[in-house]
């Protein structure tokens, strides 16, 4: 099995932090700590921090035999390498299991598409192509 970690853009980290702080700050400043709304907001924000943290820590792409597994926090996709029609470099704000704007678009199985961002795109593509030749 070969694992490819996701490339992480500092801009993505900054946007996530600003979003989380921006959501929490008004609650901390303007809601009385004895109110239920304060504790519900705090609990919701804690869940969001855990979810986002899992995305940052566990976004990677595994090639194992004829299978590509894409993992992003608690979410995952499994794609047979033989079903991959093409892989195209793309620079986009569109979302996917990718922590960078510098992405690869994988087109597979009936024109389905998945955006990923392996740190070493060339090595990732070479590993996919090597598995395709073996199949």
User: Cα–Cα distance between 108 and 27 in angstroms, integer?
Assistant: 44
What pLDDT digit, counting tens, does each position of 42-71 carry? 888 889 889 989 999 999 999 999 999 999
Mean pLDDT value across the chain: 91
Cβ within 8 Å of residue 19, ≥6 positions away: none
At 42 the pLDDT is: 84
Q: pLDDT per residue over 77-91, tens digit each?
A: 999 999 999 999 999
pLDDT score at 34: 81
Q: What is the DSSP letter of 7?
A: P
Give the per-residue pLDDT at 84: 96
pLDDT value of position 7: 96
Side-chain-side CA neighbours of residue 116 (13 Å): 27
Domains of the chain as residue ranges with CATH: 1-135 (2.30.29.30)
DSSP 3-state of 103:
strand
Cα(79)–Cα(68) distance, integer angstroms: 5
């Amino acid at each position: 099995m070969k694992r490819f970690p996701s490339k992480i853009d500092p801009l993505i980290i900054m946007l996530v932090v600003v979003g989380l702080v921006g959501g929490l700050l008004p609650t901390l400043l303007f809601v009385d700590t004895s109110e239920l709304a304060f504790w519900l907001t705090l609990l919701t924000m804690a869940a969001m921090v855990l979810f986002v943290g899992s995305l940052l820590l566990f976004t990677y792409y595994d090639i194992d035999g004829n299978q590509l597994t894409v993992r992003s926090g608690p979410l995952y996709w499994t794609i047979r390498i033989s079903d991959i029609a093409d892989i195209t470099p793309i620079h986009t704000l569109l979302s996917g299991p990718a922590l960078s704007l510098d992405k690869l678009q994988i087109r597979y199985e009936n024109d389905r598409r998945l955006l990923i961002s392996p740190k070493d795109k060339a090595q990732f593509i070479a590993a996919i192509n090597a598995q395709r030749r073996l199949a």
